[in-house]
Amino acid sequence: MTVQNVALPNGRTPQRVLGPPTPSAIFLVVTVHPGAEAEVKDFLGDVSGLVRTVGFRSREDNLSCVTGIGAALWDRMYSLPRPAQLHPFIEQRGDTHTAPSTPGDILFHIRARRIDLCFELARLMIGELGAAVDVVDEVHGFRYFDERDIMGFVDGTENPEDQEALDSAFIGPEDPDCEGGSYVIVQKYTHDMKEWESLSVEEQEAAFGRHKLSDMEFDDDDKAANSHLILNTIEDDDGTEHKIVRDNMVFGSVESGEYGTYFIGYAGDVSVTEQMLENMFIGDPPGTYDRILDFSTAETGNLFYVPTQDFLEDPGDDEDGDSPAGSPMDDAATSSSDESTGPTDHTADEADREVSDGSLGIGSLKRSRQ
């Protein structure tokens, strides 16, 4: 499904979070040098122009770039309150496995049908940003055959689609100041392929809860408590399921023997993704952690807020005090300005933002689907 840059009824235009599936992606995580905030803020308004510059000549290849902003940079760059759920990535430290929080001020999620377009855009962007930023992580991802991850399983089958994707990925009217925005969590995983491939196919299937060749899901009764599917199914007490929108990519190097999955998950309510991570690393119940982690190491971890396109182009926090379309002006959003990357307690905020019917109420976006 594609959501192009079509405005919401409230006049705001979301970024292209729900782009069409593409075979190629580049994930760039950068940090911003102190003193370069104003320059970078201006640059973020120009990214869509650069996407047009590179992508217009090959429109059928669907070049897009989603920009996400980290909590610490938000506080440095904007005088506006932080979006309610934007905080440093919450490290998950289980007895056996850890999801670390790593540096990163901005995410550029670049997608296209062709890697050359992604690369050209990344090259121009970093050329423009020059000494204002350091690239702290760069991953060139590709879609593996049959939509499989490098562990051999089809990845993405249970992604929400259509209205459910809109409801899952975007912040809805329950947070009017951020409506049309999104939260994105990224993690770079590397896999111990030797160990993984030493398992029987049955053991591998038990780790995910799906059959490898056919991609058929196990019956619920047959899924192990520590399987990836059980731990990533988030349901309310009333049985309402909460989903996120993933667009994982494979990366690797035969020379170095590094084989990986770049996890990326968009959510209108980031507490859903955070609950998944807690289930995977701490376990549900604690100790029953995700079996795939015995073969997967989380190397990075970041949370970013994805503002609307309008906000990137005009955040409206200049001295004139204009309130822009899409700016989070809600007093309740003034969460801690702690720039550390340690755990942050935001449980009350999360609870406040839950809506009773499980929908994030972004129904108005439906009209913009193409």
| Residue 133 Cβ vs ligand HEM, minimum distance, rounded to whole Å | 26
Choose one: 3-11, 100-108, 154-162, 167-175; the region binding ligand HEM (CB under 6 A): 154-162
Restricted to residues 120-149, the positions that interact with ligand HEM (CB under 6 A) are 149
Q: Taking Cα atoms as reference points, which of 141, 129, 107 lies closest to residue 26?
A: 141
Select from 168, 187, 300, 308 the one that contacts ligand HEM (CB under 6 A).
Answer: 187
Using the Cα atoms of residue 50, residue 172, residue 363 and residue 240 in order, give the sign of their dihedral: positive
Restricted to residues 205-264, the positions that interact with ligand HEM (CB under 6 A) are 208, 210, 228-229, 232-233, 244, 261, 263
Which 3-state string (H, E, C) describes 311-329? HHHCCCCCCCCCCCCCCCC
| Residue 33 Cβ vs ligand HEM, minimum distance, rounded to whole Å | 30
| Residue 286 Cβ vs ligand HEM, minimum distance, rounded to whole Å | 17
Classify each residue of 279-288 as buried b or exposed e, where b means 16 or more C-beta atoms within 10 Å of its C-beta: bbbbbbeeeb
Strands (E), 122-277: 133-142, 182-191, 234-235, 241-242, 245-246, 249-253, 258-267
- CA 288 from centroid of its chain's CA atoms: 25
Select from 168, 271, 273, 344 the one that contacts ligand HEM (CB under 6 A).
Answer: 273
Q: Taking Cα atoms as reference points, which of 50, 32, 28, 30 lies closest to residue 132?
A: 32
CB nearer to ligand HEM: give 1 or 154.
154
Q: Which residue of this chain has its Cβ atom nearest to ligand HEM in the complex?
A: 158
Contact flag: residue 175 with ligand HEM (CB under 6 A): no
| Residue 315 Cβ vs ligand HEM, minimum distance, rounded to whole Å | 29
CA separation for the pair 287, 171 (Å, rounded): 32
Select from 151, 171, 206, 306 the one that contacts ligand HEM (CB under 6 A).
Answer: 151
Q: Taking Cα atoms as reference points, which of 234, 354, 304, 325 lies closest to residue 88?
A: 304
Contact flag: residue 341 with ligand HEM (CB under 6 A): no
Restricted to residues 295-334, the positions that interact with ligand HEM (CB under 6 A) are 296
CA separation for the pair 9, 51 (Å, rounded): 25
3 state DSSP class of 173: coil
Select from 28, 107, 207, 276 the one that contacts ligand HEM (CB under 6 A).
Answer: 276
Give the total of residues touching ligand HEM (CB under 6 A).
25
| Residue 95 Cβ vs ligand HEM, minimum distance, rounded to whole Å | 18
Contact flag: residue 158 with ligand HEM (CB under 6 A): yes
CB nearer to ligand HEM: give 33 or 140.
140
CA distances from 175 to 85, 164, 232, 282, 367 (A): 11, 18, 25, 30, 20
CB nearer to ligand HEM: give 44 or 99.
99
Residue keyed to tokens 């979070």:
17
CB nearer to ligand HEM: give 62 or 232.
232
CB nearer to ligand HEM: give 57 or 93.
93
Strands 106-112 and 64-69 come out as antiparallel
Residue keyed to tokens 């049959």:
146
CA separation for the pair 73, 343 (Å, rounded): 17
CB nearer to ligand HEM: give 300 or 327.
300
Counting DSSP H helices and E strands in the chain, the numbers are: 11, 14
Select from 43, 74, 189, 304 the one that contacts ligand HEM (CB under 6 A).
Answer: 189
Catalytic residue among 149, 155, 290, 317: 155
Annotated catalytic residue 310: no
Q: Which residues belong to the active site?
A: 155
Q: Applying CB under 6 A, which residues contact ligand HEM?
A: 149, 151, 153-158, 187, 189, 208, 210, 228-229, 232-233, 244, 261, 263, 265, 273, 276-277, 292, 296
